[in-house]
């Protein structure tokens, strides 16, 4: 599926937008500085995010970007899809023709993995990520003696 900085930047920027959401739009310069992402690169990403109706823009002075929907209605998968154009890990792109026209022995395997990844990322909204972050900070404030212990609770994970 190809998860690279492009996708990571996009999610980070969207989260920044969600966190600093006000009535006023947020400029890319702000995001650029806060998150340490090149402004020109952000512009490229936001062009795609806008085309996919994940953000809306306001031009001119006082302008900037705002989330198209509420953070609770935007899933991470959409954001990555928007800039990366596929969360698919097959060689054939789902067509089943990578072994000279015929479907290769590994095809089904990659198909299912793709599905798995997509399902995971489709189940997490921007709001989920923010809530988790807040909970974590609060926990750290209460007992900031211990070094942070990992707590994976986006999903009730089936770790044994």
Of 20, 126, 17, nearest in space to 74 by CA: 126
Can you tell me which of 96, 127, 128, 130 binds ligand FES, judged by CB under 6 A? Answer: 96
Measured CA to CA, the distance from residue 13 to residue 35 in angstroms comes to 8
- CB of 128 closer than 8 Å to CB of 79: no
Q: In this chain, which of 75, 104, 130, 139 binds ligand FES, going by CB under 6 A?
A: 104
63 Cβ contact partners less than 8 Å away, ≥ 6 residues apart: 25, 27, 57
Question: Which parts of 65-94 interact with a second copy (CB under 8 A)?
Answer: 76, 89, 91
Compose the 54-83 pattern: x for residues touching DNA by CB under 7 A, - for all others. ---xxxxxxxxx------------------
The one of DNA, a second copy, ligand FES, none whose footprint includes residue 117, by CB under 5 to 8 A per kind, is a second copy
Separation between Cα atoms, residue 75 and residue 5, nearest integer Å = 18
Q: Cβ-count burial of 122 within 10 angstroms (0-12 exposed, 13-18 middle, 19+ buried)?
A: middle
Residue with tokens 């310069």: 29
**Per CB under 8 A, does 117 bind a second copy?**
yes
**Sole window of 35-43, 105-113, 117-125, 151-159 interacting with DNA (rule: CB under 7 A):** 35-43
Is residue 12 a contact residue for a second copy (CB under 8 A)? yes
| Site residues (CB under 7 A) for DNA, limited to 6-25 | 6, 9, 25
Binding residues vs ligand FES (CB under 6 A): 90-92, 96-99, 103-104, 106-107, 110
């Amino acid at each position: 599926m190809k998860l690279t900085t492009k996708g990571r930047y996009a999610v980070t920027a969207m989260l920044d937008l969600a966190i600093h959401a006000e009535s006023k739009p947020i400029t890319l310069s702000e995001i650029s500085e806060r998150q340490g992402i090149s402004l020109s690169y952000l512009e490229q990403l936001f062009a795609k995010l806008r085309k996919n109706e994940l953000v809306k823009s306001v031009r001119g002075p006082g302008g900037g970007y705002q989330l198209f929907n509420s953070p609770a209605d935007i899933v991470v998968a959409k954001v990555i899809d928007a800039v990366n154009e596929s969360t698919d890990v097959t060689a054939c792109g789902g067509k089943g023709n990578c072994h000279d026209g015929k479907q290769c022995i590994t095809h089904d395997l990659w198909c299912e993995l793709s599905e798995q990844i997509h399902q995971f990322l489709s189940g997490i909204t921007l709001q989920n990520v923010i809530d988790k972050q807040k909970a974590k900070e609060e926990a750290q404030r209460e007992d900031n003696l211990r070094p942070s212990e990992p707590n994976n609770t986006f999903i009730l994970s089936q770790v044994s």
